[in-house]
Chain A
Amino acid sequence: MSKRIVPLLAAACLAVIAGGAEAVDVRAGVLRVDYPALLPISRYDLRPDDLAFAGAVLADEDNATTGRFMGHSFETTTLAVPPEGATEALAGLLDDGVRYIVVDAMGEELAALSDQAAEAGALVFNARAADVDLRSESCRANLLHIAPSYAMQAEAVAQFAVWKQWKRWLLVSGSNPADRALAEAYRHAARKFGAQIVEEREFEDTGGSRRTDSGHVLVQRQLPTFMQRTEPHDVVIAADATDYFAAYLPYHLWTPRPVMGSAGLRPVTMHGAHEAWGATQFQTRFEKLARRHVQEEDYNTWLALRVLGEAVTRTGSADPAEIEDYVLSDAFELAAFKGQKVTFRPWNGQLRQPILLYDGRITVSVSPQEGFLHQVSPLDTLGLDRPESSCTAFD
């Protein structure tokens, strides 16, 4: 009895009221740079082969479903390359005529790839790099940031700590450049929201504290001594962007205190247990497709391509300059399972979005927190506000 009626191609009887009904073909690429890395502290953090790509497949499906009614088609190519292969891979995409590139890479490669894409007039979406300078002095006019910056992450945590009245922070950071950049974001966040860093410690990356067969035995002895004789503090803030020690902190402190930041309560764009604001539907669709839980880079990539899809739906255009203008304008808004619309900061191309505070199982809270007000949007209390960014590329 079941009869599936597909109005696809029945263009003649499809009257589309809003937006253009002309056929538009949108081709995008997802370029993921895979870095040589040691095993993560936890097996749960192993990077799946289809990381980010699964988000792209879901976004393509979502965009195609909408596009069917508009006469728009979406096709996304995914590529995983080592850092030294990134330039060539991007050149290939650009040669093929792809003008929308989602880049899942760290800051250095992202900056270079953005410049390479700019020469071809292509628009780049950042799905991973959190470097603050890319949203400030090193920003690029063709680079939109879906991934939150270290500043947004740190300030999401800071607001929650301040809301809790946990204002005395012990900042423990790693010794790698990324760890130090993240620590700097926490220092800035403390100043911005009136918390006090009572003491700082740097846990040096000697290469020996990563997971081994008996790693926990060593850690159980090392960490408490490292955390002895501190100033009185309410909370330990961990800045370990390179993931080599923070995961061990929560139960190996000397003074029992909650840990936030790179362990304990972590700021994320999405996690597999988030279900508020209709996110359950996103999770079930993603899981059906990927047969695993969603990770941040999947969500960020999905969101990048949804931004593109939404802009194409509303403008009826596939021209990168027109799309970018629209995305950065006040007219652009997008639902992203975060309880409020996400939009872009026109001064540095950063996506405004709520940040989930995640304990590894549930959404504990969502920043911005109640009471942190802003004249434009509470979301601008997270990260570089207009006066805080020295980006001029978008002027």
Chain B
Amino acid sequence: MIRPLLTATLCLAASGAFAGKAFVSNERGNTITVLDTETWEVLEEFPGGNRPRGITLSPDGTLLYVCASDDDTVRVFDTASYEELYTLPSGPDPELFVIHPSGNPLYTANEDDNLVTVTDTETHSILAEVPVGVEPEGMAISPDTKWVVNTSETTNMAHFISTEDYEIKHNVLVDQRPRYAEYTADGTRLYVSAEIGGTVSVIDIAEDGTPSLRQKIGFDVPGVLPEWLQPVGIKTTQDGSRVFVALGPANRVAVIDGESLEVIDYIMVGQRVWQMAFTPDEKFLVTTNGNSNDVTVIDVEKEEAIKSVQVGQQPWGVAITPN
């Protein structure tokens, strides 16, 4: 599955055009698959370290960060050459992270050690380790960058960490096994998925960042056992009008109206859908489907799946280059 021979040609192609790239981490295959976001062709598949899960890009799109969970490190790749440049200390078992909009620092959830590690992406050193709940996973940063939110899967909380002093200032209990947190672009709301609870908690954020739980959104798909409706990844459109929620083994992405907070549709995708990413123009949403080893491309405006593309073994996360 790994085709290093093609690298040379692809580098030329990549540098010659502005086509976007989607990078998919394949948890079981230990590889990263690169897709062209215009043609949705696979450009490349390269080694991503052991058990690559969380994946993100530097704001300028030149660096790819991968949580190599079983290597206890974050691997950093050149998004043009796919060469590994260096590693960043991440603390043990990094699962998912969020990058400061400036590109520095990186906030990483260390699943096995109940920590959030803050890593300076320039000096490559650890700035702080913040003890959080059991099995930290979901990571989000508020648009004003004052808060980093971590969700802990066994503690069932969203922890609000101040980026100033790295202390937890607020904790909100949510339903069982929170996997993901997503702020709206205006920072007034935070969505937190609970995989086993089967809900998305809607948390209102006051101006000073104080959270208050507004409501929980449940899901219901005729013919699908409620136990299979397991919300994981969440993505909201820039204007906040739509919230997409990946429903795991229900093989669907729920579409929520950001105003009424009602579920308005379910889009069929591949099997065991977990994480998602928008293209920069928000025309497309890419989902990772861990059991069918593919990604689904959703036309955001039509709210329809338009394509599925085979990637590596057990795709986990996806990151798409900015414009």
Contact = CB atoms under 8 A, between A and B. Distances in A.
Contacts of B175: 333
A69 B198 CA distance: 24
Interface residues of A, number: 40
Contact of B153 (A6, A278, A284): A278
Interface string B128-169: 111101110000000000000000111111010000011111
B188 interface: no
Nearest to B115: A4
Contact of B173 (A288, A306, A313, A340): A313
Contacts of A120: none
A5 B112 contact: no
Interface in A1-30: 1-8, 10, 13-19
B220 interface: no
B19 interface: no
Interface in B89-121: 93, 111-112, 114
Contacts of A335: 153-154, 156, 176-177, 195-197
A17 B172 contact: yes
Contact of A19 (B131, B166, B173): B173
B60 interface: no
A65 B170 contact: no
A88 to B, nearest CB: 35
B155 A69 contact: yes
Contacts of B153: 278, 281, 335
B87 interface: no
Given A69-B157, A334-B176, A5 B166 contact: yes
A386 interface: no
B135 A313 contact: no
B125 interface: yes
A314 B112 contact: no
A15 B126 CA distance: 27
B317 to A, nearest CB: 15
Contact of A14 (B127, B171, B210, B225): B171
Contacts of B165: 5
B129 A66 contact: no
Contact of A281 (B112, B131, B196): B112
A333 B218 CA distance: 15
Contacts of A1: 125-127
A378 interface: yes
Interface string A264-284: 000000000000001001001
A46 B112 CA distance: 28
B49 interface: no
B211 interface: yes
B83 interface: no
A5 B129 contact: yes
**Main SS at interface, chain B:** loop
B227 interface: yes
B81 interface: no
A74 B202 CA distance: 30
Contact of B128 (A3, A341, A378): A3
B212 interface: yes
Which of B131, B135, B154, B169 has the largest count of A CB atoms less than 10 A from its CB?
B154
A62 interface: yes
A350 to B, nearest CB: 18
A174 B124 CA distance: 63
Contact of B130 (A5, A17, A62): A5
Contacts of B227: 339-341, 377-378
A129 to B, nearest CB: 27
Interface in A341-373: 341
Range for the number of chain B residues in contact with chain A? 35 or more
Contacts of A3: 127-129
Given A333-B197, A341-B196, A4 B173 contact: no
Interface in A38-91: 61-62, 65-66, 68-70
B213 interface: yes
A1 B127 CA distance: 6
Which of B134, B152, B212 has the largest count of A CB atoms less than 10 A from its CB?
B134
B129 A69 contact: no
B133 A65 contact: yes
A285 interface: yes
A345 B261 CA distance: 32
B125 to A, nearest CB: 5
Contacts of A288: 112
Contacts of B249: 339
A314 B155 CA distance: 11
B171 A16 contact: yes
B169 to A, nearest CB: 6
B298 to A, nearest CB: 25
Contacts of B127: 1, 3
B61 to A, nearest CB: 28
Interface in A164-221: none
Given A278-B153, A335-B153, A17 B173 contact: yes
B154 A62 contact: yes
A339 B135 CA distance: 16
Interface string B194-209: 0111100000000000
B72 to A, nearest CB: 12
A94 to B, nearest CB: 30
13 contacts: A5-B129, A6-B131, A7-B130, A13-B167, A16-B171, A18-B173, A65-B131, A65-B133, A66-B154, A66-B156, A68-B131, A70-B171, A339-B249
When A and B form their complex, which 5 residue pairs have the shortest distance between CB atoms, in order from nearest? Answer: A18-B173, A335-B196, A66-B155, A340-B227, A335-B176
Interface of A: 1-8, 10, 13-19, 61-62, 65-66, 68-70, 278, 281, 284-285, 288, 306, 310, 313-314, 333-335, 339-341, 377-378
Given A5-B167, A284-B93, 19 more contacts: A2-B129, A3-B127, A3-B129, A4-B131, A6-B131, A8-B131, A14-B169, A15-B169, A15-B170, A15-B171, A17-B171, A18-B173, A18-B213, A69-B133, A70-B171, A278-B177, A335-B153, A341-B176, A341-B197
